[in-house]
């Protein structure tokens, strides 16, 4: 038979056979248990069943050939090593069965302890533990409870309820007051619960317990919660989980035993020291379950100095070995220390920077590695103002940090009320069970959004991130009652009008107004904190890593800025020029009147007069910006939006005209305006008369702007400055459009610039798919391309951002159609492909063609890596994102092995 002809595939690895690089095969837990075993650390012996066995099981619905035999063999050698047998009534070997995938994953079956106990071996265990009946029966009832819950889906409340009754009968609240007889009674009660829910007796065969538990771990990979989590976190569904079978060690044998967790550094601040919790006379899950109060790890020194010293030694060893912060789970059995788990620990954004800096100081890693270990998302988090939580504030609920920031405000429950109170100048927090598209106005008006349901991809979360609003979603301890205009949490009622504070980074919710403090990292970037002199580990680490990133990166980082003030701030943040200066705001405010004249002009003279009046105003705007960006390139985009956006809305105008007519006033001008607005109305303004189309239709408009730019540059040059203007034509789809604009612009520039030495480049945005696909032609008429990835995404996908984010993105994200909004992070396969084609064909037609990006993707970490890969010269983003882009541009180089990918 086929199975006999082939050598069995290896499905089971002893801890001594694995190592930390084998996470994919052995899961994170198994790989690290193996690593510790091979380091000679005290790990209880055991073995790992591979993720491949899980994959095979899930594919066929049964254990793959050879698995049962391999488990048998490994079990036997475990029994030999321990001198005990599974199920031995006199001296049983007990094991734990623990799931562990490549990525740690809530929603999967966790752990069953004490596998191997039954009605006989419980007596043997008691005898072996020095006639400790209480311990043995306590272990047995835990097995039935954990096995029932995780393997057979018996509701855990039933067990909890029986436990409460036992304590009640005894007149106590403390588990430890239950004696052996009470626990024996509890085991009986548990068995009945098990029988009632499963229709069978609790399995007495240890090997059957083991096999069922292993199978349950396999199956938990496809549990609903696990599937959902994977989809959200983009974890591939085919990985599967490993299963670890570990010899039991007991922390519940008495006061000289216990269990704990530890970190090698503070995962919150990154500070060096000893951080952890310890619980005497307890088994694993008690520490996290919060049944009894843990003590700080330091107190173990008094309780058991030898174990404490050994643990500290091991922690130092692990840090040196992993070269990173490790977190650890351990148990002490009668004065003997056992390591049950370690992994590179999670940490806050601040700790990530501080630890990376420290590890460089300690010589454990180099600066490239430090750069690799932090990221732009963390840096962005550190740039938000934070709550000052030194004193009395305790969170009342914790949800998901869905959109970062710190916001305090008056609670409201409806969109309408949010709009009302915001109009009165109040900060409001919109609280909902979940939001839907009808809440959009309220979300715009609110300072922050709090929901009791939904995750990182819920409507609230997606829309809030798109708006840059603070949002906590899925705070499920909160019971929202919209009709009654209140919510309850932790036994308190919060009514409309009360104040709450939400932290969109940590997901924490506080009652009352928590004071906010500015970000030190921003102060550093702004130059008000000197990293050489300030006693702030975070600022020093950020400075050091940023400096390294700047030294490494190939991409330049520019900013999107429309005013001198923005330009100045961005320059302090490290911007190396402006990649997008929008000119539309220069047509707003008291200049609206000139725009109206421009639009209403009947005779050529009138239009020219309006343009002539706009010219000096524009020139002054540009002069200010060129001054602030002296010596650096400034890309000015000619006017982009449709002109009617500068006129009053149709409805308002119509009402004004009607009212004025009623009063018998002279409405000739308003009527003309109204007619113009009607004439210019577009069904699809996004695809209408805008950008270069407008410039080609309204005579003199672009010419005026070009003249203003050139004159401002010349005036700067005369004043001893160095303006480097780059004129950018928006929405070009065909080279002919650009050629037409270019011909006129070049004449004006030549005339204005004369012999001033000023050089003005002319280029285009690539934001219409046709432009990307004909980039070779367009490059003939362009000295630079700047990718407008917002429009390119809209037109590439055929949806408008304003309409879709609130309407259906949450559903698409939920369904996994995309993992992240394509407006947040560039869609590499589709829109990214357009960028790639345009970059390649543009450069082929014009070597040295300058390439940049000015959509919001320019400040998105993943997108920055993509733009590095396709060989752009620079990214441009909002001032606050400039440091993030600098950091990620440096990381992109380090992660591609320092090679220039162009």
Q: Is 483 helix (H, G, I), strand (E, B) or coil?
A: coil
Question: Among the options 54, 326, 459, 868, which is catalytic?
Answer: 459
Query: Given the complex with ligand ADP, which of 26 and 472 has the nearer CB atom?
Result: 26
Cα 360 to Cα 356: distance, rounded to the nearest angstrom: 6
Quick one: what does residue 788 bind among ligand ADP, Mg ion, none, with the CB cut-off 5 to 8 Å set by partner type? Mg ion
Query: Given the complex with ligand ADP, which of 146 and 189 has the nearer CB atom?
Result: 146
341 binds Mg ion (CB under 5 A): yes
Q: Do the beta carbons of residue 329 and residue 261 sit within 8 Å?
A: yes
- Judged by CB under 5 A, the chain residues 787 through 806 that form the site for Mg ion are 788, 791
**Residue span binding Mg ion (CB under 5 A) among the ranges 301-309, 327-335, 523-531, 677-685:** 327-335
621 binds Mg ion (CB under 5 A): no
270 binds Mg ion (CB under 5 A): no
Cα 865 to Cα 892: distance, rounded to the nearest angstrom: 5
- Judged by CB under 5 A, the chain residues 357 through 396 that form the site for Mg ion are none
Phi, psi of 830 (to 5 degrees): -105, -75
Quick one: what does residue 505 bind among ligand ADP, Mg ion, none, with the CB cut-off 5 to 8 Å set by partner type? none
In this structure, what DSSP letter does residue 276 have? E
Quick one: what does residue 249 bind among Mg ion, ligand ADP, none, with the CB cut-off 5 to 8 Å set by partner type? ligand ADP
Quick one: what does residue 96 bind among ligand ADP, Mg ion, none, with the CB cut-off 5 to 8 Å set by partner type? ligand ADP
Name residue 787's beta-bridge partners.
766, 853
- Residues with Cβ within 8 Å of 92's Cβ and at least 6 positions away in sequence, in order, are 84, 85, 86, 116, 117, 121, 124, 125, 206
Shortest reach from residue 251's CB to Mg ion, in Å: 14
Q: What is the DSSP string of 342-360?
A: EEEPP--HHHHHHHHHHHH
Token digits of residue 439 = 């809440």
Shortest reach from residue 92's CB to ligand ADP, in Å: 14
Q: Do the beta carbons of residue 55 and residue 62 sit within 8 Å?
A: no
Tell the residue number behind the tokens 């099981």, with chain if given. Answer: 57
294 binds Mg ion (CB under 5 A): no
Cα 491 to Cα 609: distance, rounded to the nearest angstrom: 69
Quick one: what does residue 745 bind among Mg ion, ligand ADP, none, with the CB cut-off 5 to 8 Å set by partner type? none
327 binds Mg ion (CB under 5 A): no
Query: Given the complex with ligand ADP, which of 113 and 382 has the nearer CB atom?
Result: 113
Cα 561 to Cα 708: distance, rounded to the nearest angstrom: 18
Q: Do the beta carbons of residue 360 and residue 544 sit within 8 Å?
A: yes
Quick one: what does residue 219 bind among Mg ion, ligand ADP, none, with the CB cut-off 5 to 8 Å set by partner type? none
Residue with the CB atom nearest ligand ADP in the bound state: 284
Shortest reach from residue 312's CB to Mg ion, in Å: 20
Query: Given the complex with ligand ADP, which of 98 and 508 has the nearer CB atom?
Result: 98
**Residue span binding Mg ion (CB under 5 A) among the ranges 144-152, 339-347, 365-373, 489-497:** 339-347
Q: What is the CA radius of gyration of the chain?
A: 33
Query: Could you tell me how many helices (H) and strands (E) the chain has, helices first?
Result: 38, 33
Pairing of strands 479-481, 12-14: unpaired
Query: Given the complex with ligand ADP, which of 341 and 559 has the nearer CB atom?
Result: 341
Question: Among the options 54, 471, 581, 854, which is catalytic?
Answer: 854
> Is residue 105 within a helix (H) or strand (E), and if so which, with residue range?
none
Instruction: Respond yes or no: is residue 854 known to be catalytic.
Output: yes
Shortest reach from residue 276's CB to ligand ADP, in Å: 12
Size of the site for Mg ion (CB under 5 A): 5
Region of 254 (left: φ > 0; alpha: ψ -120 to 50; beta: rest) is: left
Q: Which of 368, 767, 860, 888 binds Mg ion (CB under 5 A)?
A: 767
Query: Given the complex with ligand ADP, which of 340 and 355 has the nearer CB atom?
Result: 340
Q: Do the beta carbons of residue 50 and residue 23 sit within 8 Å?
A: no
Pairing of strands 95-101, 784-787: unpaired
Pairing of strands 12-14, 46-49: antiparallel
Cα 368 to Cα 374: distance, rounded to the nearest angstrom: 11
Quick one: what does residue 214 bind among Mg ion, ligand ADP, none, with the CB cut-off 5 to 8 Å set by partner type? none
Closest CA to 13 of 55, 39, 48, 44: 48
Shortest reach from residue 329's CB to Mg ion, in Å: 5
Pairing of strands 428-432, 448-451: parallel
Query: Given the complex with ligand ADP, which of 258 and 733 has the nearer CB atom?
Result: 258
Query: Given the complex with ligand ADP, which of 245 and 440 has the nearer CB atom?
Result: 245
Cα 294 to Cα 259: distance, rounded to the nearest angstrom: 10
Quick one: what does residue 463 bind among Mg ion, ligand ADP, none, with the CB cut-off 5 to 8 Å set by partner type? none
Query: Given the complex with ligand ADP, which of 15 and 874 has the nearer CB atom?
Result: 15
Cα 574 to Cα 172: distance, rounded to the nearest angstrom: 64
Shortest reach from residue 49's CB to ligand ADP, in Å: 14
Query: Given the complex with Mg ion, which of 555 and 638 has the nearer CB atom?
Result: 638
Shortest reach from residue 337's CB to ligand ADP, in Å: 12
- Say if residue 666 is exposed, middle or buried (CB neighbours under 10 Å; 0-12, 13-18, 19+): exposed
Shortest reach from residue 340's CB to ligand ADP, in Å: 5
Cα 609 to Cα 308: distance, rounded to the nearest angstrom: 85
Quick one: what does residue 791 bind among Mg ion, ligand ADP, none, with the CB cut-off 5 to 8 Å set by partner type? Mg ion
Pairing of strands 499-503, 508-511: antiparallel
Shortest reach from residue 261's CB to ligand ADP, in Å: 7
Task: Tell me the HSE value of 239 on the side-chain side, using a 13 A CA sphere.
Answer: 25
Shortest reach from residue 134's CB to ligand ADP, in Å: 18
Judged by the rule CB under 6 A, the positions of this chain that interact with ligand ADP are 44, 96, 98, 110-111, 113, 246-249, 259, 284-285, 329, 331, 340-341
> What positions carry a catalytic annotation?
459, 854
Which residues would be at the binding site for Mg ion (CB under 5 A)? 329, 341, 767, 788, 791
């Amino acid at each position: 038979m086929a199975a006999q002809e082939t050598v069995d595939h290896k499905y089971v690895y002893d801890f001594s056979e694995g190592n930390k690089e084998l996470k994919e095969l052995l899961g994170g837990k198994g790989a690290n248990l193996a690593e510790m075993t091979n380091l000679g650390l005290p790990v209880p012996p055991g073995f790992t069943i591979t993720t491949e066995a899980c994959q095979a099981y899930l594919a066929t619905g049964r254990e793959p050939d050879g698995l049962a035999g391999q488990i048998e063999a490994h079990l036997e050698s475990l029994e030999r090593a321990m001198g005990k047998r599974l199920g031995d009534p006199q001296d049983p070997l007990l094991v734990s069965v623990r799931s562990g995938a490549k990525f740690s994953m809530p929603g999967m079956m966790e752990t069953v302890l004490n596998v191997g106990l039954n009605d006989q071996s419980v007596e043997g265990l008691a005898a072996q533990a020095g006639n400790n009946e209480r311990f043995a029966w306590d272990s047995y009832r835990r097995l039935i409870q954990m096995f029932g819950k995780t393997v057979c889906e018996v509701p855990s409340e039933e067990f909890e309820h029986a436990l409460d009754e036992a304590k009640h009968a005894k007149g106590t609240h403390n588990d430890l007051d239950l004696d052996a007889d009470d626990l024996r009674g509890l085991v009986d009660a548990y068995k009945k619960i098990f029988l009632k829910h499963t229709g069978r007796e609790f399995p007495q065969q240890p090997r059957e317990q083991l096999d069922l538990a292993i199978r349950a771990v396999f199956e938990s990979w496809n549990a609903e919660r696990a599937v959902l989590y994977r989809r959200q976190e983009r974890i591939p569904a085919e990985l599967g989980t490993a299963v670890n079978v570990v010899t039991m060690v007991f922390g519940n044998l008495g006061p000289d035993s216990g269990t704990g967790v530890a970190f090698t550094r503070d995962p919150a601040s990154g500070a060096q020291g000893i951080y952890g919790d310890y619980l005497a006379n307890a088994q694993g899950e008690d520490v996290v379950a919060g049944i009894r109060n843990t003590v700080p790890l330091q107190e173990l020194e008094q309780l058991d100095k030898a174990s404490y010293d050994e643990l500290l030694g091991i922690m130092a060893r692990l840090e040196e070995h992993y070269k990173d912060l490790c977190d650890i789970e351990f148990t002490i059995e009668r004065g003997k220390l056992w390591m049950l788990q370690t992994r590179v620990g999670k940490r806050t954004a601040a700790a990530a920077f501080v630890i990376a800096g420290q590890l460089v100081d300690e010589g454990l890693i180099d600066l490239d590695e430090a750069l690799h270990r932090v990221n732009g998302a963390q840096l962005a988090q550190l740039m938000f103002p934070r709550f000052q939580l030194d004193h009395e504030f305790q969170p009342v609920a914790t949800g998901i940090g869905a959109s970062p920031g710190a916001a305090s405000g008056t609670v409201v429950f409806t969109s309408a009320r949010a709009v009302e109170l915001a109009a009165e100048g109040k900060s409001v927090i919109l609280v909902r069970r979940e939001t839907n598209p009808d809440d959009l106005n309220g979300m715009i008006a609110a300072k922050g959004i709090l929901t009791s349901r939904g995750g990182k991809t819920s409507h609230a979360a997606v829309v809030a991130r798109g708006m840059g609003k603070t949002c906590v979603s899925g705070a499920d301890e909160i019971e929202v009652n919209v009709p009654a205009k209140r919510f309850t949490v932790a036994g308190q009622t919060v009514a409309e009008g009360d104040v709450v504070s939400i932290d969109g980074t940590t997901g924490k919710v506080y009652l009352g107004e928590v004071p906010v403090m500015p970000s030190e990292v921003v102060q550093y970037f702004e130059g008000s904190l000197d990293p050489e002199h300030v006693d702030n580990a975070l600022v020093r680490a950020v400075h050091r890593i940023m400096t390294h990133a700047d030294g490494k990166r190939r991409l330049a980082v520019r900013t999107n800025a429309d005013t001198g003030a923005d330009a100045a701030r961005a320059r302090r943040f490290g911007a190396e020029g402006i990649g997008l200066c929008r000119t539309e705001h220069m047509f707003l405010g008291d200049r609206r009147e000139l725009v109206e004249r421009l639009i209403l002009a009947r005779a050529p003279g009138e239009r020219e007069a309006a343009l002539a009046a706009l010219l000096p105003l524009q020139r002054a705007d540009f002069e200010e910006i060129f001054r602030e960006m002296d010596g650096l390139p400034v890309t000015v985009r000619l006017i982009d939006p449709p002109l009617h956006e500068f006129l009053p809305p149709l409805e308002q105008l119509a009402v004004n005209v009607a009212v004025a007519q009623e009063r018998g006033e002279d409405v000739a001008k308003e009527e003309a305006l109204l007619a113009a607005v009607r004439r210019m109305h577009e069904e699809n303004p996004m695809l209408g008369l805008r950008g270069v189309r407008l410039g080609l239709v309204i005579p003199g408009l672009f010419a005026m702007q070009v003249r203003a730019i050139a004159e401002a540059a010349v005036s700067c040059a005369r004043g001893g400055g160095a303006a480097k203007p780059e004129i950018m034509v928006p929405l070009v789809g065909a080279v002919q459009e650009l050629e037409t604009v270019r011909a006129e612009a070049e004449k004006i520039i030549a005339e204005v610039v004369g012999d001033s030495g000023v050089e003005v480049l002319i280029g285009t945005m690539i934001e219409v798919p046709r432009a990307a696909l004909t980039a070779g032609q367009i490059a003939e008429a362009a000295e630079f391309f700047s990718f407008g990835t917002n429009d390119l995404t809209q037109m590439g996908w055929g949806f408008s951002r304003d309409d879709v984010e609130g309407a259906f993105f949450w559903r698409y994200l939920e369904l996994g159609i995309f993992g992240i909004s394509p407006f947040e992070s560039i869609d590499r396969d589709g829109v990214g492909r357009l960028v790639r084609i345009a970059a390649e064909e543009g450069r082929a037609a014009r070597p040295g063609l300058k390439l940049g990006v000015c959509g919001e993707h320019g400040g998105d970490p993943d997108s920055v890596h993509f733009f590095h890969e396709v060989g752009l010269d620079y990214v441009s983003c909002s001032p606050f994102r400039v440091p993030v882009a600098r950091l990620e541009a440096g990381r992109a180089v380090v992660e591609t092995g320092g090679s220039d990918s162009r």
